[in-house]
Amino acid sequence: MGIKHRLIIMNFLQFFIWGSWLISLGGYLGGKLEFSGLEIGAVFSTMGIASLFMPAVMGILADKWINAERLLGICHLMGAVALLYASTVTDAHVFYYVMLLNAMFYMPTIALNSTVSFIILEQKGYDIVKYFPPIRVWGTVGFIAAMWIIDIFGWKSSANQLVFGAVSSFTLGIYAYSIPACRPEKSGNRKTLAARLGLDALVLFRQREMSVFFLYAMFLGAALQITNAFGGSFLDSFKLTYPDTFGVKHPIALLSISQISETLFILAIPFFLRKFGIKKVMLMSMFAWALRFGLFGIGNPGSGLYLLVLSMIIYGMAFDFFNISGSLFVEKEVPSLYRASAQGIFMLVTNGIGAILGAYGSGLVVDIFTKSGVRDWSSIWFCFAGYAMILGISFPFIFKYKHTNLK
């Protein structure tokens, strides 16, 4: 089997694991286990908490001491154990800590998966910007496939989704050891303490444009968390007014359109990066987020279903044009000696700090527009759209990076 096909399998399984429970877990916790909203929110916050430090720690290990593909395998094997145990837990307090442990091992694998792909493609002489997106797109296909399997087998409200995720994680953990070696790069004669600990990647923050890039990546990570936290609750709010509509009966299928859209926009990334550069591509992402939230504000599962569908399609540009493009930008701009550490920093600001700010900030906004238990979703989404617009308006004046053709 060719190396590109082997990387496709790796990327497919990487996000297949996440798709097996990320979208449906809230329904299981709130339904069968009867967790409160605060307890459910706490569980989802574990991903942001873990992303504050674990991707950076694992990136340092991959840069300095352990083969990246082996570390990827170890993390997935440990994550499999955590998910399997989580399927047996019914206490909210214990469940929180088990899922935090799972997040500590899963969240670093997102950056490690990219790092392994980049290293191997480079080793084989492939153009990373050209060949990585068509490989990464299979990760989104895996996420969608897992969502549909959970839906088809009726595991949305049962612990089977966690068992299924554990089996998938174990499979990738074993498979990772078959990937060609991605050894830590020799650091020559560098003997400083920072170099030994992998903290030399922090020198990136001395560069103004990289600092601004990471800052806005954090803000966009917050926008992503808004969707993750309240997209499902938003659709559930229509159960009384539109009980027999497709969006209410099959919210997971409707939300999966967002992931389907991702597959198309991922494939478009090489063209957009070369044609417009990271600055304009991220700007497109910001305005796409504004449009995504705005369409939610005026849509509904009845006569406004097409607006919700359009919002799901826009999501592909909003997510991919900062997440995948940002990862590629970091790969091209950062010296190879700390490429994994830099990817870990990117994960930290987007899925760590950004996710936590998004979770708590969006929760505050939702509470402000909730009266007597009824949420004013239109005002909520328009508020989020305004947030994205502010980012889009300010970004070109602060980020001064000049585009050069990425090759």
* Domain extent listing, the chain: 1-185, 194-407
- 111 vs 309 pLDDT, higher one: 309
Q: Which CATH class is domain 194-407?
A: mainly alpha
Residue 407 has pLDDT above 50, yes or no: no
Higher-pLDDT residue of 171, 351 = 171
φ/ψ bin of 34: left (φ > 0), alpha (ψ from -120 to 50), beta (otherwise): left
What does the pLDDT average to over 42-68? 81
Cβ neighbors of 73 (< 8 A, separation 6 or more) are 172, 173, 174, 175, 176, 177
Average pLDDT for residues 360-386, to the nearest whole number?
Answer: 87
pLDDT of residue 37: 62
- Separation CA 371–CA 373 (nearest Å): 5
Residue 202's pLDDT band, with cuts at 50, 70 and 90, is low
CATH class in words for 1-185: mainly alpha
pLDDT band at 356 (very low <50, low <70, confident <90, very high): confident
- Dig out the tokens for 188 from the structure: 């020559």
Averaged pLDDT, 386-404: 88
Token pair belonging to 326: 């940002």
Establish whether domains 1-185 and 194-407 are of one fold: yes
Give me the pLDDT at residue 403, please: 60
70's torsion region: left (phi>0), alpha (psi -120 to 50) or beta? alpha
Q: What tens digit of pLDDT does each residue of 280-296 get?
A: 999 999 999 999 999 99
State the DSSP code for 178. Answer: G
User: Across all residues in the chain, what is the average pLDDT?
Assistant: 85
pLDDT tens digits along 123-164: 888 888 788 888 988 998 999 999 889 888 888 789 999 999
